[in-house]
Amino acid sequence: MALFLIAVVFFQGNISQIPALLADKHTFFYILLSGTAGALSWLFYFLALKYGKVSQVAPIDKLSVVLATLIAIFFLGEKVSLLGGIGIALIGLGALLVAIG
């Protein structure tokens, strides 16, 4: 993850900011935490695919959209329009219906 972020900074033309980015302990900790969470996410996803049906595992994976939106609403104070709320509810309902059906 750290190498990917360094590559992004390089391609954006901000190569001079890399030492400052890596020197900040909080930033580096969050980069490591993000990489660990991403790797674990993929490992558990493939483990679920190994033991479950793709038609059930994949829709449950898409509930992350709903979860991320709910976290943004409750903890970050984001506002969601009525149409957006309906869409989020439909994603959740659709994922559950496909997973149980």
Q: What is the pTM of this model?
A: 0.65
Q: Which residues contact 94 (CB under 8 A, 6 or more apart)?
A: 59
Give the C-alpha separation, 84 to 87, whole Å. 5
Query: pLDDT-derived band of residue 67, with 50, 70 and 90 as boundaries?
Result: very high
- The pLDDT value given to residue 96: 87
Is the pLDDT at 101 greater than 90, yes or no? no
